[in-house]
Amino acid sequence: MSKLKEVLARVDADIDAALDRLFEVLRIKSISTDPAYAKDVKACAEWHVADLASIGFTAAAHATPGHPIVVAHDRSTPGPTALFYGHYDVQPVDPLERWDRDPFDPAIETREDGTKLIRARGAADDKGQLMTFVEACRAWKAVTGSLPIGVTILLEGEEETGGINLPPFMKAHAGELRADIGLICDTNMWNPTTPAIQTMLRGMVTEEVIIRAADRDLHSGFYGSAAANPNRILARILADLHDDSGRVTIPGFYDGVPELPESLRAQWNSLDFDASAFLGAIGLSVPAGERDRTVLEMVWSRPTAEINGMGGGYQGNGFKTVIPPWPRRRCRSAWCSTRTRRRSGRRSAPSSRRASRPTAASSSSATARAARSASPTRPRPSRRRRRRCPTSGARTRRSSAAAAPFP
Protein backbone atom coordinates (compact mmCIF):
# COMPACT_ATOMS: atom_id res chain seq x y z
CA MET A 1 0.00 0.00 0.00
CA SER A 2 1.37 3.44 -0.94
CA LYS A 3 1.89 6.06 1.75
CA LEU A 4 -1.02 8.12 0.38
CA LYS A 5 -3.38 5.14 0.56
CA GLU A 6 -2.25 4.47 4.10
CA VAL A 7 -2.92 8.09 5.06
CA LEU A 8 -6.36 8.03 3.47
CA ALA A 9 -7.13 4.80 5.28
CA ARG A 10 -6.07 6.44 8.54
CA VAL A 11 -8.42 9.36 7.82
CA ASP A 12 -11.30 6.93 7.34
CA ALA A 13 -10.44 5.01 10.47
CA ASP A 14 -10.27 8.22 12.53
CA ILE A 15 -13.45 9.80 11.15
CA ASP A 16 -15.43 9.59 14.39
CA ALA A 17 -12.68 11.27 16.41
CA ALA A 18 -12.27 13.89 13.67
CA LEU A 19 -15.98 14.67 13.83
CA ASP A 20 -15.77 14.96 17.61
CA ARG A 21 -13.00 17.54 17.24
CA LEU A 22 -14.91 19.45 14.58
CA PHE A 23 -18.08 19.48 16.67
CA GLU A 24 -16.08 20.70 19.66
CA VAL A 25 -14.81 23.74 17.78
CA LEU A 26 -18.21 24.34 16.15
CA ARG A 27 -19.69 24.74 19.62
CA ILE A 28 -17.46 27.76 20.30
CA LYS A 29 -19.36 30.98 19.58
CA SER A 30 -16.50 32.76 17.80
CA ILE A 31 -18.58 35.65 16.39
CA SER A 32 -15.90 38.20 15.57
CA THR A 33 -18.04 41.25 14.79
CA ASP A 34 -19.79 41.38 18.18
CA PRO A 35 -17.64 42.49 21.16
CA ALA A 36 -19.90 40.45 23.43
CA TYR A 37 -18.25 37.31 22.03
CA ALA A 38 -14.63 38.46 22.35
CA LYS A 39 -13.90 35.85 25.03
CA ASP A 40 -15.37 33.13 22.82
CA VAL A 41 -13.21 34.20 19.89
CA LYS A 42 -10.12 34.10 22.10
CA ALA A 43 -11.16 30.67 23.41
CA CYS A 44 -11.46 29.40 19.86
CA ALA A 45 -7.95 30.62 19.03
CA GLU A 46 -6.61 28.89 22.14
CA TRP A 47 -8.44 25.68 21.17
CA HIS A 48 -6.65 25.62 17.83
CA VAL A 49 -3.28 26.33 19.45
CA ALA A 50 -3.73 23.33 21.76
CA ASP A 51 -4.98 21.09 18.96
CA LEU A 52 -2.11 21.95 16.62
CA ALA A 53 0.43 21.54 19.42
CA SER A 54 -0.97 18.07 20.08
CA ILE A 55 0.17 16.92 16.62
CA GLY A 56 3.64 18.39 16.83
CA PHE A 57 3.21 21.94 15.53
CA THR A 58 4.87 24.84 17.30
CA ALA A 59 1.76 26.98 17.76
CA ALA A 60 0.89 30.31 19.36
CA ALA A 61 -1.97 32.81 19.41
CA HIS A 62 -0.63 36.27 18.58
CA ALA A 63 -2.42 39.29 20.01
CA THR A 64 -3.56 42.02 17.59
CA PRO A 65 -5.58 45.21 18.13
CA GLY A 66 -8.55 42.96 17.37
CA HIS A 67 -8.81 39.19 17.70
CA PRO A 68 -5.85 36.78 17.93
CA ILE A 69 -4.09 35.31 14.90
CA VAL A 70 -2.95 31.72 15.31
CA VAL A 71 0.35 30.74 13.69
CA ALA A 72 1.69 27.19 13.77
CA HIS A 73 4.85 25.75 12.19
CA ASP A 74 6.09 22.30 11.35
CA ARG A 75 9.06 22.76 9.04
CA SER A 76 10.99 19.71 10.15
CA THR A 77 10.91 18.35 6.59
CA PRO A 78 13.45 20.05 4.30
CA GLY A 79 12.43 21.29 0.86
CA PRO A 80 9.47 23.36 -0.32
CA THR A 81 7.11 24.96 2.18
CA ALA A 82 3.40 25.79 2.18
CA LEU A 83 1.51 28.54 3.99
CA PHE A 84 -2.05 27.46 4.78
CA TYR A 85 -4.71 30.11 5.50
CA GLY A 86 -8.05 29.62 7.19
CA HIS A 87 -10.24 31.55 9.62
CA TYR A 88 -11.84 30.40 12.84
CA ASP A 89 -14.33 33.27 13.30
CA VAL A 90 -17.95 33.08 12.19
CA GLN A 91 -20.78 35.43 11.28
CA PRO A 92 -23.64 36.35 13.62
CA VAL A 93 -26.54 33.88 13.77
CA ASP A 94 -29.42 36.36 13.72
CA PRO A 95 -32.31 35.90 13.20
CA LEU A 96 -32.40 32.97 15.58
CA GLU A 97 -36.01 32.15 14.76
CA ARG A 98 -34.94 31.05 11.27
CA TRP A 99 -32.83 28.25 12.71
CA ASP A 100 -34.38 24.84 13.37
CA ARG A 101 -31.94 24.23 16.22
CA ASP A 102 -29.24 25.99 18.24
CA PRO A 103 -26.69 27.14 15.59
CA PHE A 104 -23.86 26.25 17.99
CA ASP A 105 -25.18 22.75 18.64
CA PRO A 106 -23.87 20.88 15.56
CA ALA A 107 -25.71 17.89 14.20
CA ILE A 108 -25.52 15.59 11.19
CA GLU A 109 -28.67 15.77 9.07
CA THR A 110 -29.79 13.51 6.25
CA ARG A 111 -31.23 15.28 3.21
CA GLU A 112 -34.03 14.03 0.97
CA ASP A 113 -31.55 12.57 -1.52
CA GLY A 114 -29.87 10.52 1.20
CA THR A 115 -26.73 12.62 1.46
CA LYS A 116 -25.65 13.96 4.83
CA LEU A 117 -24.52 17.37 6.01
CA ILE A 118 -23.37 19.02 9.22
CA ARG A 119 -25.70 21.80 10.34
CA ALA A 120 -24.03 24.47 12.48
CA ARG A 121 -22.69 27.99 12.23
CA GLY A 122 -19.20 27.82 10.75
CA ALA A 123 -19.50 24.25 9.45
CA ALA A 124 -19.03 25.46 5.87
CA ASP A 125 -17.36 28.82 6.53
CA ASP A 126 -14.68 28.12 7.57
CA LYS A 127 -14.25 25.69 10.45
CA GLY A 128 -15.12 22.66 8.36
CA GLN A 129 -12.58 23.41 5.63
CA LEU A 130 -9.96 24.46 8.19
CA MET A 131 -10.25 21.23 10.14
CA THR A 132 -10.14 19.17 6.96
CA PHE A 133 -6.59 20.42 6.38
CA VAL A 134 -5.60 19.90 10.01
CA GLU A 135 -6.99 16.36 9.99
CA ALA A 136 -5.00 15.61 6.83
CA CYS A 137 -1.85 16.75 8.63
CA ARG A 138 -2.81 14.66 11.67
CA ALA A 139 -3.28 11.51 9.60
CA TRP A 140 -0.11 12.01 7.56
CA LYS A 141 2.01 12.46 10.67
CA ALA A 142 0.39 9.48 12.37
CA VAL A 143 1.25 7.22 9.43
CA THR A 144 4.66 8.52 8.35
CA GLY A 145 5.92 10.39 11.41
CA SER A 146 6.35 13.68 9.55
CA LEU A 147 4.72 15.88 6.93
CA PRO A 148 5.88 15.53 3.31
CA ILE A 149 6.78 19.25 3.14
CA GLY A 150 7.25 22.08 5.60
CA VAL A 151 3.94 23.63 6.64
CA THR A 152 2.95 26.89 8.30
CA ILE A 153 -0.68 27.36 9.32
CA LEU A 154 -2.18 30.83 9.79
CA LEU A 155 -5.69 31.07 11.24
CA GLU A 156 -7.37 34.46 11.29
CA GLY A 157 -10.01 35.56 13.78
CA GLU A 158 -11.41 38.56 11.89
CA GLU A 159 -12.07 37.37 8.34
CA GLU A 160 -15.80 37.94 8.69
CA THR A 161 -15.25 41.55 9.76
CA GLY A 162 -12.84 42.60 7.00
CA GLY A 163 -9.52 41.35 8.41
CA ILE A 164 -8.11 44.81 9.03
CA ASN A 165 -5.34 43.51 11.31
CA LEU A 166 -4.09 40.78 8.98
CA PRO A 167 -1.96 42.89 6.57
CA PRO A 168 0.15 44.59 9.27
CA PHE A 169 0.58 41.25 11.05
CA MET A 170 1.79 39.54 7.89
CA LYS A 171 4.19 42.36 7.12
CA ALA A 172 5.57 42.27 10.66
CA HIS A 173 6.01 38.46 10.47
CA ALA A 174 6.95 38.19 6.80
CA GLY A 175 10.08 36.19 7.54
CA GLU A 176 8.40 33.34 9.39
CA LEU A 177 5.37 33.30 7.05
CA ARG A 178 7.29 33.25 3.76
CA ALA A 179 6.59 30.06 1.80
CA ASP A 180 6.79 28.60 -1.69
CA ILE A 181 3.06 28.10 -2.07
CA GLY A 182 -0.05 29.54 -0.46
CA LEU A 183 -3.29 27.66 0.14
CA ILE A 184 -6.53 29.48 0.99
CA CYS A 185 -9.04 27.09 2.51
CA ASP A 186 -12.24 29.15 2.44
CA THR A 187 -13.75 28.02 -0.83
CA ASN A 188 -16.10 25.51 -2.47
CA MET A 189 -16.19 22.30 -4.50
CA TRP A 190 -18.18 21.58 -7.64
CA ASN A 191 -19.88 18.67 -5.88
CA PRO A 192 -19.03 16.27 -3.05
CA THR A 193 -16.72 14.22 -5.29
CA THR A 194 -15.16 16.88 -7.56
CA PRO A 195 -12.60 19.29 -6.09
CA ALA A 196 -11.93 22.72 -7.54
CA ILE A 197 -9.25 25.38 -7.37
CA GLN A 198 -10.48 28.92 -6.85
CA THR A 199 -8.65 31.30 -9.17
CA MET A 200 -10.37 34.57 -8.23
CA LEU A 201 -11.67 36.11 -5.02
CA ARG A 202 -13.84 39.21 -4.96
CA GLY A 203 -12.44 42.22 -3.18
CA MET A 204 -14.66 44.42 -1.07
CA VAL A 205 -15.50 48.04 -0.31
CA THR A 206 -17.90 48.58 2.58
CA GLU A 207 -19.99 51.67 3.29
CA GLU A 208 -22.23 52.74 6.13
CA VAL A 209 -24.53 55.67 5.27
CA ILE A 210 -26.48 57.55 7.91
CA ILE A 211 -29.04 60.16 6.83
CA ARG A 212 -29.62 62.81 9.50
CA ALA A 213 -32.56 65.20 9.39
CA ALA A 214 -34.38 66.43 12.52
CA ASP A 215 -32.59 66.41 15.84
CA ARG A 216 -35.25 64.25 17.56
CA ASP A 217 -38.16 61.87 16.96
CA LEU A 218 -41.14 63.64 15.41
CA HIS A 219 -44.81 62.69 15.57
CA SER A 220 -45.77 61.93 11.98
CA GLY A 221 -49.30 63.26 12.49
CA PHE A 222 -47.94 66.67 13.45
CA TYR A 223 -44.77 67.01 11.36
CA GLY A 224 -45.60 64.71 8.43
CA SER A 225 -44.79 66.20 4.96
CA ALA A 226 -43.24 69.31 6.49
CA ALA A 227 -40.30 67.43 7.99
CA ALA A 228 -37.77 65.54 5.86
CA ASN A 229 -38.14 61.81 6.46
CA PRO A 230 -34.70 60.14 6.40
CA ASN A 231 -36.26 56.76 5.62
CA ARG A 232 -37.75 58.14 2.41
CA ILE A 233 -34.49 59.84 1.44
CA LEU A 234 -32.52 56.66 2.06
CA ALA A 235 -35.05 54.52 0.16
CA ARG A 236 -34.69 56.78 -2.89
CA ILE A 237 -30.89 56.59 -2.75
CA LEU A 238 -30.92 52.80 -2.50
CA ALA A 239 -33.51 52.43 -5.27
CA ASP A 240 -31.25 54.39 -7.61
CA LEU A 241 -28.22 52.12 -7.05
CA HIS A 242 -29.42 49.80 -9.86
CA ASP A 243 -31.28 50.44 -13.09
CA ASP A 244 -34.11 48.32 -14.48
CA SER A 245 -31.65 45.99 -16.20
CA GLY A 246 -29.79 45.17 -12.97
CA ARG A 247 -26.76 47.31 -13.82
CA VAL A 248 -25.16 49.31 -11.02
CA THR A 249 -25.54 53.05 -11.64
CA ILE A 250 -22.74 54.32 -9.38
CA PRO A 251 -20.48 56.51 -11.59
CA GLY A 252 -17.23 54.72 -12.41
CA PHE A 253 -18.37 51.46 -10.82
CA TYR A 254 -17.37 49.37 -13.85
CA ASP A 255 -14.19 51.29 -14.66
CA GLY A 256 -11.32 48.85 -15.14
CA VAL A 257 -13.56 45.78 -15.11
CA PRO A 258 -12.41 43.63 -18.07
CA GLU A 259 -14.71 41.68 -20.30
CA LEU A 260 -14.60 37.93 -19.89
CA PRO A 261 -12.26 36.35 -22.46
CA GLU A 262 -14.18 34.30 -25.00
CA SER A 263 -12.07 31.23 -24.26
CA LEU A 264 -13.02 31.40 -20.59
CA ARG A 265 -16.67 32.06 -21.40
CA ALA A 266 -16.67 28.96 -23.57
CA GLN A 267 -15.27 26.91 -20.69
CA TRP A 268 -17.93 28.18 -18.30
CA ASN A 269 -20.70 27.57 -20.82
CA SER A 270 -19.53 23.97 -21.17
CA LEU A 271 -20.04 23.22 -17.50
CA ASP A 272 -23.06 21.22 -16.38
CA PHE A 273 -24.40 24.22 -14.50
CA ASP A 274 -28.15 24.71 -14.15
CA ALA A 275 -28.96 28.34 -13.33
CA SER A 276 -32.57 27.49 -12.50
CA ALA A 277 -31.49 24.82 -10.02
CA PHE A 278 -28.83 27.14 -8.57
CA LEU A 279 -31.45 29.81 -7.80
CA GLY A 280 -34.24 27.35 -7.06
CA ALA A 281 -32.24 25.82 -4.23
CA ILE A 282 -32.57 29.14 -2.36
CA GLY A 283 -36.19 29.83 -3.30
CA LEU A 284 -35.53 32.15 -6.26
CA SER A 285 -36.19 31.85 -9.98
CA VAL A 286 -35.12 35.06 -11.75
CA PRO A 287 -31.50 36.36 -11.81
CA ALA A 288 -31.26 39.89 -10.44
CA GLY A 289 -28.00 40.98 -12.08
CA GLU A 290 -27.20 42.44 -15.47
CA ARG A 291 -29.61 40.99 -17.98
CA ASP A 292 -27.02 40.46 -20.69
CA ARG A 293 -24.90 38.25 -18.40
CA THR A 294 -25.20 34.61 -17.45
CA VAL A 295 -25.56 33.66 -13.81
CA LEU A 296 -21.98 32.34 -13.72
CA GLU A 297 -20.73 35.65 -15.12
CA MET A 298 -22.72 37.51 -12.48
CA VAL A 299 -21.20 35.60 -9.58
CA TRP A 300 -17.75 34.84 -11.00
CA SER A 301 -16.58 37.78 -13.10
CA ARG A 302 -18.76 40.83 -12.48
CA PRO A 303 -18.69 43.31 -9.58
CA THR A 304 -21.75 43.60 -7.37
CA ALA A 305 -23.24 46.26 -5.08
CA GLU A 306 -25.25 44.72 -2.25
CA ILE A 307 -27.20 46.16 0.68
CA ASN A 308 -26.30 44.04 3.69
CA GLY A 309 -28.41 45.81 6.29
CA MET A 310 -30.71 48.78 6.78
CA GLY A 311 -32.91 50.17 9.48
CA GLY A 312 -34.62 53.32 10.69
CA GLY A 313 -37.30 54.13 13.19
CA TYR A 314 -39.20 51.74 15.40
CA GLN A 315 -38.29 48.07 14.82
CA GLY A 316 -40.49 46.33 17.39
CA ASN A 317 -43.95 44.82 17.11
CA GLY A 318 -46.87 47.07 16.23
CA PHE A 319 -46.53 50.68 15.09
CA LYS A 320 -44.94 53.87 16.30
CA THR A 321 -46.14 56.93 14.40
CA VAL A 322 -42.83 58.75 14.61
CA ILE A 323 -40.50 60.12 11.93
CA PRO A 324 -37.02 59.00 13.07
CA PRO A 325 -34.12 61.48 13.08
CA TRP A 326 -31.98 59.09 11.06
CA PRO A 327 -31.91 55.66 9.42
CA ARG A 328 -28.81 53.83 8.32
CA ARG A 329 -27.81 51.19 5.83
CA ARG A 330 -24.75 49.04 5.30
CA CYS A 331 -23.80 47.92 1.85
CA ARG A 332 -20.96 46.10 0.21
CA SER A 333 -19.45 46.50 -3.22
CA ALA A 334 -17.45 43.54 -4.46
CA TRP A 335 -15.47 42.91 -7.58
CA CYS A 336 -13.10 40.34 -9.01
CA SER A 337 -10.44 40.63 -11.68
CA THR A 338 -10.65 38.25 -14.63
CA ARG A 339 -7.59 36.44 -15.93
CA THR A 340 -7.17 33.94 -18.74
CA ARG A 341 -6.49 30.42 -17.52
CA ARG A 342 -6.00 26.95 -18.91
CA ARG A 343 -8.55 24.46 -17.74
CA SER A 344 -7.99 20.88 -16.81
CA GLY A 345 -10.35 17.98 -17.27
CA ARG A 346 -12.25 18.55 -14.05
CA ARG A 347 -15.05 21.00 -13.60
CA SER A 348 -15.19 24.05 -11.42
CA ALA A 349 -17.38 24.75 -8.44
CA PRO A 350 -20.26 27.24 -8.57
CA SER A 351 -19.89 29.89 -5.89
CA SER A 352 -21.68 33.12 -5.16
CA ARG A 353 -18.38 34.75 -4.27
CA ARG A 354 -15.61 33.04 -6.14
CA ALA A 355 -14.61 31.88 -9.57
CA SER A 356 -12.89 28.57 -10.01
CA ARG A 357 -10.57 26.56 -12.19
CA PRO A 358 -11.26 22.83 -11.90
CA THR A 359 -8.52 20.42 -10.85
CA ALA A 360 -7.76 17.78 -8.28
CA ALA A 361 -5.45 19.78 -6.01
CA SER A 362 -2.92 22.56 -6.43
CA SER A 363 -2.62 26.32 -6.04
CA SER A 364 -2.46 29.22 -8.46
CA SER A 365 0.85 30.97 -9.01
CA ALA A 366 -0.80 34.18 -7.87
CA THR A 367 -1.54 32.64 -4.49
CA ALA A 368 2.03 31.44 -4.26
CA ARG A 369 3.22 34.99 -4.88
CA ALA A 370 0.94 36.13 -2.07
CA ALA A 371 2.53 33.60 0.27
CA ARG A 372 6.07 34.64 -0.67
CA SER A 373 5.36 38.31 -0.19
CA ALA A 374 3.27 37.63 2.96
CA SER A 375 1.34 40.84 2.42
CA PRO A 376 -2.17 40.37 0.94
CA THR A 377 -4.22 43.55 0.76
CA ARG A 378 -7.19 43.81 3.07
CA PRO A 379 -9.41 46.70 4.21
CA ARG A 380 -7.82 49.94 5.32
CA PRO A 381 -9.10 51.93 8.30
CA SER A 382 -12.39 53.69 7.73
CA ARG A 383 -12.61 57.33 6.73
CA ARG A 384 -15.69 59.23 7.84
CA ARG A 385 -17.13 62.19 5.96
CA ARG A 386 -20.25 64.23 6.49
CA ARG A 387 -22.29 65.55 3.59
CA ARG A 388 -25.60 67.29 3.15
CA CYS A 389 -28.36 65.90 0.97
CA PRO A 390 -28.86 68.36 -1.93
CA THR A 391 -32.65 67.94 -1.97
CA SER A 392 -33.61 67.91 1.70
CA GLY A 393 -30.65 69.46 3.47
CA ALA A 394 -30.39 66.38 5.68
CA ARG A 395 -26.89 65.56 6.86
CA THR A 396 -25.25 62.30 5.83
CA ARG A 397 -22.24 60.50 7.21
CA ARG A 398 -20.33 57.95 5.23
CA SER A 399 -17.67 55.60 6.49
CA SER A 400 -15.71 53.56 4.02
CA ALA A 401 -13.15 50.79 4.02
CA ALA A 402 -11.39 49.88 0.80
CA ALA A 403 -10.04 46.47 -0.03
CA ALA A 404 -8.45 44.83 -3.04
CA PRO A 405 -8.82 41.19 -4.07
CA PHE A 406 -6.19 38.67 -3.06
CA PRO A 407 -3.69 38.42 -5.93
Structure confidence by residue, pLDDT tens digits, 91-109 = 999 989 889 999 999 999 9
Q: Cα–Cα distance between 92 and 108 in angstroms, integer?
A: 21
Tens of pLDDT, residue by residue over 8-60, are 999 999 999 999 999 999 999 999 999 999 999 999 999 999 999 999 999 99
CB neighbour list of residue 288: distance below 8 Å, 6 or more residues apart: 246
- Contact (Cβ atoms closer than 8 angstroms) between residue 128 and residue 186: no
What confidence tier does 391 reach under pLDDT thresholds 50, 70, 90?
very low
Q: What is the pLDDT of residue 367?
A: 32
**Is pLDDT of 356 > 50?**
no
Q: What is the pLDDT of residue 4?
A: 93
Q: Cα–Cα distance between 213 and 195 in angstroms, integer?
A: 52
- Contact (Cβ atoms closer than 8 angstroms) between residue 349 and residue 197: no
Query: Of 354, 348, 351, 317, which is closest to residue 334 (Cα–Cα)?
Result: 354
**Is pLDDT of 161 > 50?**
yes
Q: Would you put residue 306 in left (φ > 0), alpha (ψ -120 to 50) or beta?
A: beta
**Is pLDDT of 266 > 80?**
yes
Beta-bridge partner residues of 363: none
What residues does each domain of the chain span?
3-186, 201-359+382-401
Q: Measured between alpha carbons, how far is residue 367 from residues 94, 111, 192 in Å?
A: 34, 35, 24
Which CATH architecture fits 3-186?
A: 3-Layer(aba) Sandwich (3.40)
Tens of pLDDT, residue by residue over 268-317, are 999 889 999 999 999 999 999 999 999 999 999 999 999 988 888 888 88
Share of the chain above pLDDT 70, in %: 80
**Is pLDDT of 263 > 80?**
yes
Lowest model confidence (mean pLDDT) among 105-119, 150-164, 317-331: 317-331
Q: What is the pLDDT of residue 321?
A: 86
Task: For the beta carbon of residue 38, count every other beta carbon within 10 angstroms.
Answer: 15
Residues in the chain: 407
Q: How far is CA 84 from the centre of its chain?
A: 16
Average pLDDT, the chain: 82
Q: What is the pLDDT of residue 1?
A: 54
Q: What is the pLDDT of residue 399?
A: 31
Q: What is the pLDDT of residue 246?
A: 95
**H helix and E strand count, the chain:** 12, 16
213-221 average pLDDT score: 91
Q: Measured between alpha carbons, how far is residue 287 from residues 121, 268, 293, 320 in Å?
A: 27, 17, 10, 36
**Is pLDDT of 393 > 60?**
no
Lowest model confidence (mean pLDDT) among 56-70, 205-219, 230-244, 350-364: 350-364
Beta-bridge partner residues of 74: 151
Q: What is the pLDDT of residue 380?
A: 34
- Contact (Cβ atoms closer than 8 angstroms) between residue 305 and residue 335: no
Q: What is the pLDDT of residue 48?
A: 98
Lowest model confidence (mean pLDDT) among 153-162, 238-247, 262-271, 389-398: 389-398
**Is pLDDT of 349 > 70?**
no
137-152 average pLDDT score: 96
More confident residue, 1 or 300: 300
CB neighbour list of residue 353: distance below 8 Å, 6 or more residues apart: 201, 202, 299, 334
**Is pLDDT of 127 > 90?**
yes
**Is pLDDT of 148 > 50?**
yes
**Is pLDDT of 407 > 80?**
no
**Is pLDDT of 251 > 60?**
yes
Class of domain 201-359+382-401: alpha beta
Beta strands in 268-390 (DSSP E): 304-312, 322-323, 327-335, 354-358, 383-388
- 42 DSSP assignment: H
